Amino acid sequence: MNTPKAPDYVPGHGLLQGRTAVITAAAGAGIGGATARRFLEEGARILIGDAHARRLKETEQALAAEFGAARVTSLPCDVTDEDQVGALFALAEQTHGALDLVVNNAGLGGTAALVDMADEQWAKVLDVTLNGTFRCTRAALRSFKASGRGGVVVNNASVVGWRAQTGQAHYAAAKAGVMALTRCAALEAAEFGVRVNAVAPSLAMHPHLVKVTSRELLTELTAREAFGRYAEPWEVANVIVFLASGYASYMTGETVSVSSQHP
């Protein structure tokens, strides 16, 4: 049996030309990093944040060398720290003027049976994945409301927010919370012209996922995908681009599954 291969990479079409975006957890080769690249390819200016300062600087330097230093800025940001979140959004406005787009990608997973899970394990995943998305969404909406020019928030959820998976109670609860937060924020933000949506990937492979997930589980999850392969991070980023663009102008409060998974 031939190993399924990913489709050809899709070139940019200027869908975000001249827009300014904040993207969290954008260092490295995961969905955040792929989103940063895709936004640049679509014409945006970006400010990327990540809790890993060294990897973040390396990502900024690589993207700046390719797309120009004027279009790429970075600032270390731990989304569990309100002061750091505030500094990230303040820098976006100082550097690029009014903000247009925010992608809340920061999240933390792990595997633990509920009967063995410590309070600290539960709280840490919830604080990064759900509370961090709340802090950044709140900062985004405050910025958009003050500017009066509208804006877009795209949150990164997960199919486990809908589907049960053993060992993922903390992560599933957090991602289900992100979906609910997305719906409520969308209703509140509509009155000042802001759209809030989310993506829910099933399995997008990247180096960090390999470190925190067993090979057996990854094999099992991949086998559930209709295409017989995991998603490339850029395939999820393509849907984030769509939600951030004018093509999704009538969508808000929605969570779009980026998955070929069957039950």
Domains parsed from the chain with CATH numbers: 20-258 (3.40.50.720)
Q: For the residues 58-70, what does the mean pLDDT come to?
A: 98
Active-site residue, selected from the candidate residues 9, 171, 230, 247: 171
Residue 171 appears among annotated catalytic residues: yes
211 pLDDT tier (thresholds 50, 70, 90): very low
- What's the chain's average pLDDT? 92
pLDDT for the residue 1: 41
pLDDT in tens, 126-145: 999 999 999 999 999 999 99
pLDDT in tens, 78-93: 999 999 999 999 999 9
What is the pTM assigned to this prediction? 0.92
pLDDT in tens, 148-197: 999 999 999 999 999 989 999 999 999 999 999 999 999 999 999 999 99
∠ at Cα 184 (183, 187), nearest 5°? Answer: 90
